[in-house]
Amino acid sequence: MKKFLLLIGCAIAISSLAQKTTTLGEDSPLRKLAIAQMAISNLYVDTVDNKKLTEDAIRGMLEKLDPHSSYFTPKEVKSFNEPLQGGFEGVGVQFNVLEDTLLVVQTINDGPSEKAGIIAGDRFVSVNDTAIAGVKMSKEEIMRRLRGPKGTKVKIGVKRAGIKDILSFVVVRDKIPLNTVEASYMIRPGVGYIRLSSFGATTPTEVTDAIKKMQSAGMQNLILDLQDNGGGYLQAAVQVLNELLEQHDLLVYTEGRTTRRQEYRARGNGIFRQGKVIVLVNEFTASAAEIVSGAIQDQDRGTIIGRRTFGKGLVQRPVDLPDGSMIRLTVAHYYTPSGRCIQKPYVKGNTKDYYMDVEKRYKHGELTNADSIHFADSLKFETLKKHRVVYGGGGVMPDYFVPLDTTIYTKYHRELAAKSVIINANLRFAEKNRKALIKKYGKEGTTENGEKSEGFTAFEQSYEVPQSFIKDIFAEGEKQGVKPKDDAEKEQTTKTLRRNLKALIARDLWSINEYFRIYNEDSDIVKCALQKIDEN
């Protein structure tokens, strides 16, 4: 009898809930969803978190759509937007965590920490009198404590080499820029090089400034490196293309089920409309970076070199929710000027398989052999001026294929890197030798004592990574059970380590720009680009 009464009570409760949603219409899917949510909230045997329940429902709906429609919590929205919006508010240091302690790799030029007197090599041991060293605090938690609104103060305890006592600094937080141009320099006489990490709000200005600076140094041809560039704002890609293409040239167009065709064309006021353009791409070049690559190729403005790009041709629109969370909903496809949709195929709801595509390419030999890549005739298009054949349906295929060199990094090297042996050894080396290196290769042209510095050029031409440094890495690897297969593997690893470590040391003494100046000299894709510029 009690069981019968309980069932009657549940039925009455659900009926009552259903009556509250009658304004949605008898057959409305939203009414069905609302009844389910209220039933769970009011009748479920255990207490439920309605907020999480709603978020799970949203995620569940989006997971059944395309791989790029997604939901972000308010915290995730902030983290997602920061790199694209061009900055955040904090203390202005680049750091790494070494042996459970934050080690300052660099201070941002003219940033809050530099103004306060903090220097590269300092170790942060406390923030506002709370210990952050030796307590196994996560990098994310350390960042949370250091960041804060512009104008607020944070007290930082610092351990500095050669000084016994803990130093105390009060840093006034400020806006810290996040640049998307990682490197820009004259790679050869008359040839400029720009490497872009993403397409954010500040990208067009950064690219324009870099081009102007290199033009004043005699740049006639440009290498635009979009390797590993995962994309960003479509408008940023359009503005970058505007600097390279002629008036009225079609750059990209978008179209969807409920969104009419929208075209983006060059205004004709770009600052680099003459001169050769080489675009470097690989399997991680995606989205906005593919818009730029596809437009340059379709308009026969330049040459694409590298490997087939990722293949993301979907446009997302942010839908802001009342609590600060956000849905990024796919609303359209984008098409290159010739009409190509470069979105690779996907099965709705199968996100894992979609993101495993690059690994499949590797296994099928597509990253090492151009003959392994096949396109259906139905995906064939022509460029707009020279009528060259190009293909849609899965990324941008470069004009010149450069295979992935699988022999550069040995298994021994990869294992050393995976156990953080290399990066930690580099941090220790930089900390120990920074003063001597700066004395000889000071970034400002003079040393602390006013003596002349040899500078980066001398470093690039003459510096050799000490063999003792390599031996220390191998010894640490052996302690952690990482050993080479044979002498040949050890010799190959040594060769690659010398180049990589020199680039890392250059980054620590100067910036990421100098890292790429060292690294690019051994890059097959960059070498191919320079060769094509010389040939034509």
Cα angle value 206/210/213 (rounded, 5°): 140
Pairing of strands 303-306, 277-281: parallel
Helix (H, G, I), strand (E, B) or coil at 433: helix
Is there a catalytic annotation at residue 49?
no
Residue with tokens 């191998």: 474
Q: How far apart are alpha carbons 348 and 360 in whole angstroms?
A: 19
Q: Tell me: the pLDDT tens digits for 280-307?
A: 999 999 999 999 999 999 999 999 999 9
At 19, which amino acid appears? Q
Cα Rg, the chain, nearest whole Å: 27
Per-residue confidence (pLDDT) for residue 138, from 0 to 100: 82
Place of tokens 């010398």: 498
> 298 an active-site residue?
yes
Enumerate the β-bridge partners of residue 391. 380
Residue 113 corresponds to which tokens in the numbers above?
């920490």
Query: 113-166 pLDDT, tens per residue?
Result: 988 888 888 889 999 989 988 888 888 888 889 988 899 999 999 988 778 889
Query: Exactly one of 69, 249, 312, 338 is catalytic; which is it?
Result: 312
Which of 298, 357, 399, 508 is catalytic? The answer is: 298
Q: Which of 500, 483, 327, 526 shows the shortest CA–CA distance to 426?
A: 500
> Which residue, among 204, 197, 209, has the nearest Cα to 234 in the 3D structure?
204
Annotate 449-474 with DSSP letters as a single string. Answer: TSPBP-HHHHHHHH----HHHHHHHH
Q: Which two tokens stand for residue 212?
A: 């102007």
pLDDT in tens, 369-417: 888 888 888 889 999 999 999 998 889 999 999 999 888 899 999 999 9
Helix (H) or strand (E) holding 294: helix 288-298
Which pTM was predicted? Answer: 0.86
Query: Which of 94-108, 253-267, 337-351 is the most confident on average?
Result: 253-267
Please give the helix or strand (H or E) that residue 155 lies within, else none.
strand 153-159
Backbone CA torsion sign across 437, 440, 446, 447: positive
Q: What's residue 140's pLDDT? A: 81
Please identify which of the residues 113, 287, 293, 325 carries the catalytic annotation. 287
Where does the pLDDT of residue 443 fall: very low under 50, low under 70, confident under 90, or very high at 90 and above?
low
* Minimum mean pLDDT range among 134-138, 186-190, 429-433, 448-452: 448-452
- Which H or E run includes 97? strand 93-98
Contact 118, 171 (CB under 8 A): yes
**DSSP result, 334-377:** EE-TTS---PPP--TT-HHHHHTHHHHHHHHTTTT-GGG----G
Amino acid at 295: A
Q: Of the given ranges (107-111, 221-225, 290-294), which has the lowest mean pLDDT?
A: 107-111
pLDDT of 88 above 60: yes
pLDDT band at 2 (very low <50, low <70, confident <90, very high): very low
CA 431 – CA 347 distance, rounded (Å): 50
Q: What is the pLDDT of residue 7?
A: 42
10 Å CB burial of residue 195 (0-12, 13-18, 19+) is buried
pLDDT band at 446 (very low <50, low <70, confident <90, very high): very low
Structural tokens at position 512: 């990421």
Our answer to whether residue 486 is catalytic in this structure is no
The predicted-structure confidence for 39-85, as pLDDT tens digits, reads as follows: 888 888 888 888 888 888 889 889 889 999 999 988 888 877 776 77
